[in-house]
Amino acid sequence: MTTAFRRSLLQGIALGAGALLLSGSALAQQAEPQTEPPAEASAAPVVKGPQVSLKTTKGEIVLQLDEEKAPKTVANFMQYVKQDFYKGTIFHRVIDGFMIQAGGMNEKFEGRKTNKPVKNESNNGLSNQPYTVAMAREDHPDSATSQFFINVADNSGIDYPNYKGSGYTVFGKVVKGQDVVDKIKGVVVDDVRGMQNVPVVPIFIKSVTVLKGDKLVK
């Protein structure tokens, strides 16, 4: 990877008229590789929170939200879900090796009126690991509104407190559709209307629904 390309990748995640700013030093602080074999794996803990299905033009992605670790963030996201806010929005920024971002613009790059920003909850013990979902925001920690991103790499460099004493709030994970995330991260992107890393063929969110009963992913 060239220095120029890496610098471009680390410049930030566009958030409407503002920017989600990520420093190169923050992203460079990745977790050290494990040198000892892990202890015997135990059963995964049950996560308390709703499951949400994102039906996209690339397939379905199901998110398990963690309302115990990120109650304000989950409540904020669910408010947009109940408002049907995300229908017709696109994945407007895709960086393979980093993340895929959505939740704020239509195919004409027109933003939508958002609710009040949510308080940052990045100090919740959750890490920006592959297939986790986190909130996009501007430089101020408490500026996240509707936009979110799905990590496609170990991005622990943006965990609390690696970015100016704060971080980017993880509030759930992908429990179905990891293959769809992989499809999206690999699409062809270009610069469009001053925005970088925009998929050449728009990827739409067609619907967002809350799963219940036998529809839940076990």
- Per-residue model confidence as pLDDT tens digits over 22-80: 433 333 333 343 445 455 545 566 889 999 999 999 999 999 999 999 999 999 999 99
Is the confidence at residue 17, as pLDDT, over 60?
no
CB 186 within 8 A of CB 96: yes
Amino acid making up residue 72: K
Question: For the residues of 166-204, what is the DSSP string, one character each?
Answer: B---EEEEEEE-HHHHHHHHTS-EEEETTEEEEESS--B
DSSP state at residue 94: E
- The torsion angles phi and psi of 209, rounded to 5 degrees, stand at -135, 155
Tell me the C-alpha to C-alpha distance, in Å, between residue 135 and each of 151, 174, 191: 11, 14, 23
CB atoms near residue 87 (< 10 Å): 14
Q: Please give the structure tokens belonging to residue 99.
A: 């993340």
Residue 92, pLDDT score: 97
Q: Please give the structure tokens belonging to residue 96.
A: 């393979």
Tell me the C-alpha to C-alpha distance, in Å, between residue 29 and each of 24, 26, 42, 89, 161: 9, 5, 28, 32, 11
Only one residue has tokens 């990120």, namely 70
pLDDT in tens, 93-146: 999 999 999 999 999 999 999 999 999 999 999 999 999 999 999 999 999 999
The structure's pTM equals 0.83
Residue 134, pLDDT score: 98
pLDDT interval class at 163 (50, 70, 90): confident
Q: What is the rounded distance in angstroms from the CA atom of residue 18 to the CA atom of residue 11?
A: 13
| Higher local confidence (pLDDT), 45 or 169 | 169
Q: What is the rounded distance in angstroms from the CA atom of residue 10 to the CA atom of residue 5?
A: 9
Q: What is the rounded distance in angstroms from the CA atom of residue 37 to the CA atom of residue 195?
A: 43
Q: Where are the alpha helices (DSSP H) in the chain?
A: 3-9, 24-28, 71-82, 178-185
Residue 43, pLDDT score: 55
